[in-house]
Structure 1
Amino acid sequence: MGSEVLSLVAQIHEFKGRQEMYLAQKPAALERLIETAEVQSTEASNKIEGIVTTRARIKQLCDEKTTPRNRDEEEISGYRDVLNTIHKSYKYIPLTPNYILQLHEMLYHYSGRCIGGRFKNVQNYISEPRADGTSFVRFTPLQPYETPDAIATICESYSKTIDDGVIDPLLLIPIFINDFLCIHPFNDGNGRMSRLLITLLLYRSGYVVGRYVSLEAKIERNKNAYYDVLQTASTRWHEEDNDFVPFIKYLLGTILSAYRDFEDRIQLVGEKLPAVELVRRATQKKVGKFTKSELMELCPSIKKASVENSLKKLVDNGEITRHSSGKNTFYTRNG
């Protein structure tokens, strides 16, 4: 695997140990992080697939204070339900084909499409767009008749290897997810299911950082790199001669970044300080440009209006500088 992969695994183990200490010390503060991460995960994982609605509607749907208005919101609501189920019951959801089908059925619970909880019945293809607007087939997954046995095989192999306890789950999880995506077992929802399964398998192995910092949001911000490493890791998959390492490195780097963010956020959330001081400390953790949204992630214990007022005070004090306007607004620290 190489020294880089081993270093990533070792660092994640270290952060995991410290996170367990924080979980014991600051349980009340964690609820605010959970709420923020749930909204971000639901929004980002669907956004990767082009399924979108406004941030306000996402929040209302996640809080279950409204009902879906269209197909996108139906699928967003389904994702919310699967994510919540994993959060609450991951210990009781073993990795089997039947449970994967049940989670997929839940994903389409609000949809009128009759594809939830069923493996694909038509051949699917992973296509890539060209600059001229046309597309080409980058990868041909397994055929429908091969799919049930293939999913059963990778589930059994993963579970047996986990039980053997020889190989670290952090290495096994990306290998399983890459195999899952190469099989592409469903007519629709493969990408979203793969990200939900990442969360499930990490939780079952004790890596619960995704509950407090959205892994999906990190993937969405780096989705070009995400697609690039998946393409590399799928090359020669049918010949059983593919290279998993690029995807392993990518996923481990994403998990490590989430653990680092968790430590930043829990330190701020746990402090009982005036809003302006919390925002000031959040800005001090930023390098280069930063936005109001990024500060709100670091300060989930205070409301949007308080963050806005605090930013204005810091600008007026000369501690930070505001650039541009409207949706393009960003800030930089002075000195």
Structure 2
Amino acid sequence: VAKIHEYKGRQALFLQQEPVELQRLVEVAMIQSTESSNRIEGIVTTRSRLLQLVENKTTPRNRDEKEILGYRNVLNIIHSSYEYIPLRSNYILQLHRDLLQYTPFSYGGKFILFKPLEPYETLIAIEQICDNYQKTLDLEIVDPLILIPCVIFDFLCVHPFHDGNGRMSRLLTLLLLYRNGYMVGKYISIEKEIADTKEAYYQALEQADAGWHE
């Protein structure tokens, strides 16, 4: 954690000295993030079609491409407007609505009734996660790099949406990292790192889930 903080301190220097190179990395990371986060969920298209979708040079042809386009749009929103998107339930709902905006599904931007929580508990649980995150962050008693994955894990355990929980968790990870000054996800795809270690990723979730409800 300390080493990551050290690299965070060097960010401003890199941003000032290498603007052209960093813009190239942004473009590469956008493609990798969109491709990788969707691939984890089995949502795929060809490389050429992916590039056209990310660069807004075509319209989606099928459900997978519609979901890929929605992810790209939310990723753009977080990249450009993270300062104005606090971790609140209404913002999470808006991002999820945008994630599924091109699909025919009616549940975009709506929490669902999903076990193990009782139906009435879902919104309350998300609001508690958001409130406790902000309170803990303000108290400065837990390092953000420890707090953020705890928030994301709780979000996944609540599983508030009918579809898109995994993709939303990765988008929220980027959002919270950005809001805490960790901008690396704009230049190096965190989603690709997760996709490349998917087995370990799901194993870690399974191990952490033991006893969560208690």
TM category, shorter:
over 0.9
Q: Deviations over 1:189-247 (max 9, x none)?
A: 000000000000000000010000000001000000000000111110001xxxxxxxx
SS at match of 1:81: helix
Which residue of 182, 203, 207 corresponds with 1:207? Answer: 182
Conserved? CA contact 1:120–1:144, under 8 Å: yes
Alignment of 1:12-161 (within 5 A): 12-121=4-113, 123=114, 141-161=116-136
> 1:37: Cα distance to partner?
0.1
1:173 aligned to 2:117? no
Conserved? CA contact 1:46–1:52, under 8 Å: yes
> 1:161: Cα distance to partner?
1.0
Which residue of 164, 167, 176 corresponds with 2:139? Answer: 164
Whichever residue aligns with residue 65 of structure 2, its letter is E
> 1:17: Cα distance to partner?
1.5
**Number of equivalent positions:** 214
Q: Distance in 1 between matches of 2:88 and 2:142?
A: 20
SS at match of 1:202: helix
Which residue of 172, 185, 206 corresponds with 2:160? Answer: 185
Whichever residue aligns with residue 182 of structure 1, its letter is C
- Give aligned-pair identity as a percent: 61
Counterpart of 2:212 in structure 1 is 237
TM-score, normalised to structure 1's length? 0.63
Task: Point out the structure with max Rg over C-alpha.
Answer: 1
> 1:21: Cα distance to partner?
1.2
> 1:145: Cα distance to partner?
2.1
> 1:184: Cα distance to partner?
0.3
Counterpart of 2:170 in structure 1 is 195
Structure 1 stretches (4+) deviating beyond 3 angstroms? none
Q: Distance in 2 between matches of 1:144 and 1:195?
A: 24
Q: Deviations over 1:158-195 (max 9, x none)?
A: 01111122221101000000100000000110000000
- Structure 2 unaligned spans of 5+: none
Conserved? CA contact 1:144–1:185, under 8 Å: no
Q: Distance in 2 between matches of 1:162 and 1:211?
A: 23
Q: Distance in 2 between matches of 1:211 and 1:58?
A: 18
Q: Distance in 1 between matches of 2:108 and 2:190?
A: 24
Q: Distance in 1 between matches of 2:65 and 2:134?
A: 34
TM-score, normalised to structure 2's length? 0.98
> 1:115: Cα distance to partner?
1.0
> 1:20: Cα distance to partner?
2.2
Q: Distance in 1 between matches of 2:24 and 2:162?
A: 36
> 1:24: Cα distance to partner?
1.3
Deviates more, 1:9-18 or 1:197-206: 9-18
Whichever residue aligns with residue 67 of structure 2, its letter is E
Q: Distance in 1 between matches of 2:191 and 2:134?
A: 24
SS at match of 2:52: helix
1:218 aligned to 2:210? no
- Give the aligned CA root-mean-square deviation in angstroms: 0.9
Q: Distance in 2 between matches of 1:143 and 1:67?
A: 39
Whichever residue aligns with residue 154 of structure 2, its letter is D
